[in-house]
Homo-oligomer: A and B are copies of this chain.
Amino acid sequence: MKVYKNEKRKDYLKEHSIAHLFSFPIEEFIEVHEYQRDEWIIQEGTRPDFLFFVIEGKAKIYVTHHNGKVSLINFINANDYIGEMELLHEVYYTKGIQTSTKTICFAIPLHRCRTQLLEDVTFLRELTKFLSVKATQMAAKYSQSLAFPLENRLADFILQTADEGFYKEKHVTVCDFLGVSYRHLLHVLAQFCDKGYLQKEGRHYRIQQYQPLYELAGVLRNK
């Protein structure tokens, strides 16, 4: 992890100003952190000292279970908060956050700003919206994971992550995210190929037929 200083820091603060998300002058407190690919921004089980706001990059939230299974709870993108749970709760089991690309965050030191943050209307209103979206997403994922087989959830995931007609996600990551075994993921992908929805090209999959994938994904939506 690198901490940007002086000019580089100032440039980032100016270029990606988040002053409008607060009603007090926050900039002076902000540190600008750069994490490289696959670095851990927060270690699972360890309280962070900062509230982070992601400026550039992507990351993943992980939790490890007693039986050794790892769940990828969600993806984090630009303009997401990290560490807000620890700001709000004294006691909290901290999830691990790992970058999947180079990631730049604004880091707000909790020991200096906690009190002010918790009294700031502008900040709290934004955070409330952020959390409500998060809660809704998780509720949706939860109920879908119980109500539908992998076939449907995978179709949705493929459509959401496909890039120019190609699905290129890493199988291992997708297993953790959709909560299925590697074996079973490959099995369902192979079915999609058999049925002609996808065609494997090297290690990527070209989407051949969108319509049946749309139909499989469509049933996840609410009534």
Interface positions of A (Cβ within 8 A of B)? 44-45, 63-67, 69, 71, 73-74, 84-85, 88-89, 92-93, 95, 118-121, 124-125, 127-129, 131-136, 138-139, 141-148, 178-180, 218-223
Q: Name which residue of chain B comes closest to A177, CB basis.
A: B146
Asked if A222 and B65 sit within 8 Å, CB to CB, the answer is yes
In the bound complex, residues from chain B placing their C-beta under 8 Å from that of A132 are 84-85, 88-89, 131
Chain B residues, Cβ within 8 Å of A136: 85, 92
Distance of A102 from chain B, by nearest CB (Å)? 26
Counting from the closest, the 7 A-B pairs by CB-CB distance are A146-B179, A71-B143, A138-B138, A124-B124, A135-B135, A131-B131, A142-B142
What are 7 sample pairs from A and B whose C-beta atoms fall under 8 A apart?
A63-B139, A65-B222, A67-B148, A69-B147, A71-B142, A73-B139, A141-B142
Across-interface contacts of A145 in B (CB, < 8 A): 142, 145-146, 179
CA distance A128 to B127 in the complex (A): 7
Interchain CA distance A222-B61 in the complex, whole Å:
14
Do A65 and B139 have beta carbons less than 8 Å apart? Answer: no
Nearest-CB distance from A64 to chain B (Å)?
A: 4
**For residue A121, which residue of chain B has the nearest CB?**
B121
Q: How far is the CA of A89 from the CA of B218 in the complex (A)?
A: 23
- Contacts A44-B223, A141-B142: A88 and B179 contacting too (C-beta < 8 A)? no
Residue numbers in B under 8 Å from A142 (CB-CB): 71, 73, 138, 141-142, 145
Which residue from B118, B139, B223 sits with its C-beta under 8 Å from A45? B223
- CB of A67 within 8 A of CB of B219, answer yes
Are the CB atoms of B64 and A222 closer together than 8 Å?
yes
| Bound: A27/B56 CA distance, A | 45
B125 touches A71 (CB 8 A): no
Q: Which residues of B are found within 8 Å of A141, using beta-carbon distances? A: 142
A148 contact from B65, B85, B135, B144, Cβ within 8 A: B65
CB distance from A152 to the nearest CB of B (A): 9
Nearest CB of B to A212, in Å? 16
Indicate if the CB atoms of A65 and B128 lie closer than 8 Å. no
